[in-house]
Amino acid sequence: MSQLPTPALVVEARTLEANLSTMAAALPGDRLRPHVKAHKCTALAARQAAHGHRHFTCATIREMEGMARVGLGDDLLLANEVLDATRLGALARDGGRVTVAVDSDATIDAAARGRVPEVLIDVNVGLPRCGCAPEEAGRLADRARAAGLVVRGVMGYEGHIVGLEDRATREEMLEVSMAELMKAAETVGGEAISAGGTGTYDLNTWATEIQAGSYALMDTAYAKLGLPFAHALSVLSTVISVSPDWVVADCGLKALGMDHGNPGVAGADVWFCSDEHLTLAPHEPMRVGDRIRVLPAHIDPTVAYHEHLHLVEGDEVVERWDVDLRGW
């Protein structure tokens, strides 16, 4: 690892394996539909498949295509709305099982036009984002079936709940959210109730499948929740400049997702990030050339900046995986 050019994404092989095992024990097989958006890496998805999860969640068409390309297309869900489903339809004709979320007449029509065979009715369960009103779900399901689409069931992502630190609050709010989803499910029909995330993976007993993604690599935001998953991902960085009161490492805004705030560094106070720099005040002196581990506050937009994930055991890089699902 001492030879790795920095900044470089580093994944602790054992921690990753422990995270995957813990989740597979809690939600075996198809009870988990891992979300690939967090890691954007088919090699990591293959590890999840080896743990028994063969159905995946994607956020972009590029992710869907990339997963199918490497033979992980048994059952791919695009948990997002699209207005041009042509590429998805092509994917289905190539033999993958392709399902797309829909929440409006326009997105249903797009799915039918693009010849995507199956849909989930995306229901708003409290997060101000996509999803129809629960009372609209039945009508949309009817419209989808009339357009020749198979309606597999409902989807409802409780994104306003998954990150709440207090477990009891998560439980209470989840019950309200899932009541809305179950109400919609009754009018929609189908088998699937797709919901959940890393923060509710063991609380959401309504869902038939949980769309968790962050559990594999984890970040400082989710770490506050006391979940049985540990940080597996960090950005390896080199100290390039030392001043009396601070040091500068070569890991900046283009190597880190910043929406959840500054990253963390053990034994140091992080001051701020610039394009290619992290300014921090270490508790013990550091020297130019020292290597540090930077823990991203939010992994998803962090990984999306990088070309590779380096799997390490101790100081050894045992594998280099392409982050091959980037872009749209």
* 93 versus 254: smaller Cβ distance to a copy of itself: 254
**Where on the chain is the footprint of a copy of itself (CB under 8 A)?**
5-7, 37, 59-60, 80-84, 103-107, 124, 128-131, 133, 159, 238, 240-243, 245-246, 248, 250, 253-254, 257-259, 271-277, 279, 287-289, 298, 300-301, 304-307, 327-328
* 106 versus 150: smaller Cβ distance to a copy of itself: 106
* 280 versus 312: smaller Cβ distance to a copy of itself: 280
Instruction: Give the Cα separation of 117 and 151 in Å (integer).
Output: 9
Rounded least distance, CB 25 to a copy of itself, Å: 27
Instruction: Give the Cα separation of 289 and 4 in Å (integer).
Output: 13
* 4 versus 18: smaller Cβ distance to a copy of itself: 4
39, 321 contact by CB (below 8 A): no
* 174 versus 278: smaller Cβ distance to a copy of itself: 278
What is the C-alpha R_g of the chain? 21
* 86 versus 208: smaller Cβ distance to a copy of itself: 86
Rounded least distance, CB 236 to a copy of itself, Å: 12
Rounded least distance, CB 112 to a copy of itself, Å: 15
